[in-house]
Chain A
Amino acid sequence: MNVKAQVAMVMHLDKCIGCHTCSVTCKTTWTNRPGMEYIWFNNVETRPGPGYPKRWEDQDRYKGGWEYSNGKLRLRAGGALSKLAKIFYNPNMGTLDDYYEPWTYDYRHLIEGERSDYVLSARPKSMITGKYIDQPEWGSNWDDDLAGGSEVVPMDPNVEKLQEHIAMEYEKTFMMYLPRICEHCLNPSCVASCPSGALYKRDEDGIVLVDQEECRGWRFCMNGCPYNKVYYNWNTHKAEKCNFCYPRTEAGLPTICSETCVGRIRYIGVVLYDADKVKAAASVEDPQNLYEAQLGCFLDPFDPEVIAEAREAGINDEWIRSAQESPVYKMAMKWKIALPLHPEYRTLPMVWYVPPLSPIMNHITNEEELSTDGYIPAVDQMRIPMQYLASILAADDTEVIRRVLLKLTAMRVHMRSVNVGGVDELAKSRLLEEAGIDTETVEDMARLLGVSKYSERFVIPTGRREMDGDELHYEQGACSIEDLAPPEGMTTYPFERGR
């Protein structure tokens, strides 16, 4: 056993209101520099839709993640030698147009423009070339809230796979939000794709980072990540990615996206896993078994043997305690209501999702009179097609989604009977049985998902300073970012030159 700790996240999609607060706070924290205008470490996409970058799930094109063929796990975009051969031109990498050309507005014209009979307007101006863009055609969240309608929805690779026709009429269609950050995978293909070895996974908390000094800008990580969550900063010519706000998590604080999440959909906690099992778990043949295989990598933080091994591996008691109280452990491993995003990419992602329940049961007109048994078939006839959710969260295995939705429905029915009453007890217990959970679990779930406080949603131990040795004393009073990323030193804005 090779015990490692991982800080992981769960997002409860039912509660996401699509407000983009997370994206904006992330942007103002990390990506508001020249070269990074188009970059959103956190983005919230409306599904069904193409996402950001466009059609990132189309792995025939981007060739991200791993594939299992002839008994071997290999990078879909090709191994080391074929990468070296393609280093001068990476055929699978997207361009700015797959994201969008960022722009600002010519506000100055509003103040300095000549007096005229018409109202002055601020024309959009590219932040890449400094030239006017007369008609922006795509932008971040251009398709927010299905606002591309029947033109944009079919661009969703998951929709292409669906058997049934998706209704686009306003009263019949469906919609959900999918907030995305880097998954801080257990088997990160971005790391394996980097020719320089600049990307790495931190041993003690699993955060995946790019060493800015070692990155040489070879760009294979960009499309090597199947989630397209490594970005190319055109100004520094280096890769940058979500860093799980490590300066915050090291201080025991949640990431900025989680801290500011309006819907309180995000949960952060520690998970212990066995690093020796990772490769085998990523190499199971049937993609539908990847979810179970990944679950098999996680360790029970209450098991005395695991605790002993963890201590042996240098994991301190604060981290072990955090793993025991971890909301992620509860939702993903104990209750099994959170699922990994696209497990078929074989990177073993560590940001999991509780699938949304809300828009179901649109045909239930009078919930008062509904017999509890009626909920079970209702789960199968949701407004969001189960195949659609399964395509995103379960490698097309609808049974996995069904089990989770049943649990969430059972929770809803039980809490209704507790708070409002009027539910047939016998039928309710049948529902709980079908969902495979007991009332105690259901009430725990309802508390964590519904009303949990900050300290329950975020259980984050502080960084392991004991590993730093004595050196930090000498750094006292120094500015930590002084020569690492001088915000004004190495950046250039193109505007002046572009004009």
Chain B
Amino acid sequence: MPAEANRADLSAQGGEKMGEMGEIFWWVVFPYLTLAIMIVGSLYRFAYNQLSWVAPSTEIFEKKWLRIGSPLFHYGLLFAFIGHVMGMVIPIEFYRGLGISDHLYHDFAIYGGGVAGLMVVAGAVILLIRKMTVDRVRIHATFADFFSVISLIIVAGLGVYITLVYNTTVLEYEYRTTIGPWFRSLFVFRPQYELMTAVPFLFQLHVITAFALFASIPFTRLVHLYSVPVHYPLRAPQQYRSRSRYRRKRI
């Protein structure tokens, strides 16, 4: 099994590069810290600052560039999310059980993930240029707005690079035996940080920047991702509210 072999010799290298404390910091403390900031921060903002909880659209100011950039970016993100669920959440044994060979999986991941990633990066770059060049949009953009877009470009750019370039030129890295189990181990509160030590540096960087981005969510416009109105198709078209119901909810 080539993947297993890779893991063995890289683990020796990685272990040397980063001390035990460093490993615990990056693969245990840091993810939990960032996730905690994300969760607590989001809950706090949801509870105390509903008025700021929006998808701050600028479509009213400009819609020609938005028409290309925004769907490209958002749909790309949606596909990328699905791809990450497939790679990180669903264990490799599941695919093997179904008889999907590792090679077939990777071919699919490279094409599917590559396209999704490119959509995200291209969309975000268009949105960033729009944000920098269209007066009406730029003047009302905040630091947090730029921060979100730029960090998304960095995280997604790294993702695209490791999917399309690294995986095809350096080695077809089997993250489903390392990053995947490590990621899942975080959620059962038994973080197996040792799984991450051997992971190639670019993959590590993608993970770290992604977690840093998660921590920023409550402080930026990204909170709107929690509010995707999936319940819309299910509710009655007309909404009546009676006086006894429309007063402000106390939290």
Residues of A at the B interface (CB closer than 8 Å) are: 75, 79-81, 83-84, 87-91, 93-96, 128-131, 187-188, 191-192, 194-197, 199-204, 209, 211-219, 232, 234-238, 275, 463-464, 467-469, 471, 484-485, 490, 494, 497-498
Contact = CB atoms under 8 A, between A and B. Distances in A.
17 contacts: A88-B73, A89-B66, A96-B136, A197-B232, A200-B239, A200-B241, A201-B239, A203-B240, A203-B242, A204-B242, A211-B246, A219-B60, A467-B242, A471-B247, A494-B139, A494-B140, A497-B139
Contacts of B248: 213, 484
B95 interface: no
Given A197-B231, A197-B239, 6 more contacts: A89-B66, A95-B60, A200-B246, A201-B241, A218-B229, A494-B140
Contacts of A200: 239-241, 246
B238 A201 contact: yes
B212 to A, nearest CB: 25
B59 A89 contact: yes
Interface in B121-172: 135-136, 139-140
B238 A192 contact: yes
Contact of B56 (A87, A128, A217): A217
B238 A234 contact: no
Nearest to B78: A88
Interface in B65-88: 66-67, 70-71, 73-75
A468 B244 contact: yes
Contacts of B101: none
A131 B139 CA distance: 10
Interface stretch (B8-16, B47-55, B174-182): B47-55
A470 to B, nearest CB: 12
Given A187-B238, A201-B240, A237-B57, A89 B70 contact: yes
Contacts of B59: 89-90, 93, 95, 219
Contacts of B70: 88-89
A215 B227 CA distance: 10
Given A80-B232, A203-B241, A213-B51, A234 B63 contact: no
Contacts of B63: 89, 93, 95
A485 B239 CA distance: 24
Nearest to B56: A237
A195 B229 contact: yes
B55 A217 contact: yes
Interface in B209-251: 224, 227, 229-233, 235, 237-244, 246-248
Contact of B54 (A95, A129, A238): A238
A129 B140 CA distance: 8
Binding site secondary structure of chain A? loop
B139 A464 contact: no
Contact of A232 (B57, B139, B230): B57
A218 B60 CA distance: 12
B140 A202 contact: no
Nearest to B66: A89
Contacts of B136: 96, 128-129
Contacts of A195: 229, 232
B232 A128 contact: no
A199 B135 CA distance: 31
Contacts of A497: 139
Contacts of A93: 59-60, 63
B75 A216 contact: no
Nearest to B72: A88
A79 B235 CA distance: 12
B44 interface: no
Contact of A131 (B51, B60, B61, B135): B135
A218 to B, nearest CB: 7
Contacts of B227: 196, 216
Contacts of A203: 240-243
Contact of B60 (A83, A213, A232, A484): A232
Given A84-B232, A89-B66, A202-B246, A188 B238 contact: yes
Nearest to A35: B140
A85 B52 CA distance: 24
A426 B196 CA distance: 102
Contact of B233 (A80, A214, A494): A80
A279 to B, nearest CB: 8
B62 interface: yes
Contacts of A216: 53-55, 224, 227, 229
Contacts of A90: 59
B185 interface: no
Closest 5 CB pairs of A and B: A195-B229, A192-B237, A203-B242, A80-B233, A213-B50
Contacts of A84: 229-230, 232-233
Interface in B88-129: none
Contacts of B75: 88
A234 B246 contact: no
A484 to B, nearest CB: 7
Q: Which of A95, A187, A201 has the most CB of B within 10 A?
A: A95
A96 B60 contact: yes
Nearest to B75: A88
Contact of B55 (A201, A218, A467): A218
Contacts of B247: 468, 471
A234 B237 contact: no
Nearest to A498: B139
Nearest to A499: B139
Nearest to B71: A88
Contacts of A87: 229
Contacts of A468: 243-244, 247
A219 B57 contact: yes
